[in-house]
Chains A and B, each alone.
Chain A
Amino acid sequence: MIDLFKFFGKGESKSKDIAKERLKLVLIHDRANISPKYLDMIKDDVIKVISSYMEIDEEGLDIRLSRIPQEDDTYSTALIANIPIKKVKNLGPNKG
């Protein structure tokens, strides 16, 4: 059945498209020269800053480089952070 889908060019994504997407992502890191260690350093600092405002799930925190599709069909590189919040600290009424 899978073969039939492939045969008519539908269904599973082509392996070359997977290759291309993986390469593009890995080259973002290679070109930017951002090592996993460097990302960890960013992560630690982000935790420090956010923690003074809210309690976050440090284990669940995820920071990585990603490609964001633009309207003109090009891609831009972005630093994506997913930060699960456990509790927002009550710092009293907001100032300003």
Chain B
Amino acid sequence: MGEVIVITSGKGGVGKTTATANIGTALALSGKRVVLVDADIGLRNLDVVMGLENRIVYDLVDVVEKVCRLKQALIRDKRFEGLYLLPAAQTKDKTAVSPQQMQELCNQLREEFDYVLIDCPAGIEQGFKNAIAGADKAAVVTVPEVSAVRDADRIIGLLASNDIMDPRLIINRLRLDMVKRGDMMDIDDTIDILGIDLLGVVPDDERVVVSTNRGEPVVLDDDSLAGRAYKNIAKRLMGEDIPIMELNTDEGFLARLKRLFNAGKKRAL
């Protein structure tokens, strides 16, 4: 029996879909059988992030409406053994599916897979309720900004009132240079505010954009810090005790001096 994990955030644009794609790929690379479920009906995106947009025939709503069988809608990712995608419908909206139907779907999927990762839509309405309906656990993605952290807090409360206790936190797009100068909340600040356990920290990394442009998960890029962070998250989900990546925050006196000069230059321009 597999585990159903919903990846959620409240706020949009913090990296839920990228996290789902990369954690799922990393789990598959470790030999697990994984299905990625795009629960963002009407705003389908996981397919393009995964580079599987040309292979969609049926979608989640077709399965729920019994237009096709579950297996017909699952897209096998030929690059990674054991990785599948269940795409969202693009022409329907959130009301096309009910929480009960999602629960049934998740229970079907957990028979076949070790991990069922659900990419939750932004917001707290119907789409969110559907996405969490069949989940055992949750990962909450946030970025270290006031709006995203506030929404994450709201989501943690809503998860608890739906009996999904102890969600784990992914802090995405952390910028070490900004943390160093005290212009971005750091890992401890964010955990202190939200009061949940940390699942992982993903540094801001432009390689994420580059790999997404190509439709390739960034975990394939060995030089990418973000890719390594997602691999660590996957290992932690599998129960391994992996410490949070040592991020080099010691930029030293010269770097600070240089930045000061650069700041001055910018103003001069």
Contacts and interface: CB of A to CB of B under 8 A. Distances in A.
Interface of A: 3, 6-7, 14-17, 19-20, 22-24, 26-27, 30-31
B268 interface: no
Given A16-B185, A23-B149, 10 more contacts: A3-B260, A3-B263, A7-B260, A14-B182, A15-B182, A16-B183, A19-B146, A20-B185, A26-B146, A31-B153
B44 interface: no
A23 B157 contact: no
Contact of B150 (A7, A14, A17, A30): A30
Contact of A27 (B150, B181, B185): B150
A16 B186 contact: yes
B144 to A, nearest CB: 8
A19 B185 CA distance: 8
Q: Interface residues of B toward A: which range? A: 20 to 34
A56 to B, nearest CB: 34
A19 B157 CA distance: 21
Given A3-B260, A30-B153, A30-B154, A23 B146 contact: yes
Nearest to B184: A16
A23 B264 CA distance: 31
Given A15-B182, A16-B186, A17-B182, A24 B193 contact: yes
Contacts of A31: 153, 157
Interface of B is mostly: helix
10 contacts: A16-B179, A16-B189, A20-B192, A20-B193, A27-B150, A27-B193, A30-B153, A30-B154, A30-B157, A31-B157
Contacts of B146: 19, 22-23, 26
A26 B263 contact: no
A23 B184 contact: no
Nearest to A22: B146
Given A20-B193, A31-B153, A7 B186 contact: no
A33 to B, nearest CB: 9
A6 B257 CA distance: 12
Contact of B189 (A3, A7, A20): A20
A14 B192 CA distance: 17
B256 interface: yes
A19 B183 CA distance: 9
A26 B193 CA distance: 11
Contacts of B179: 16
A17 B189 CA distance: 9
A24 B149 CA distance: 10
A15 B183 contact: yes
Contacts of B263: 3
Interface string B179-204: 10111111001001100000000000
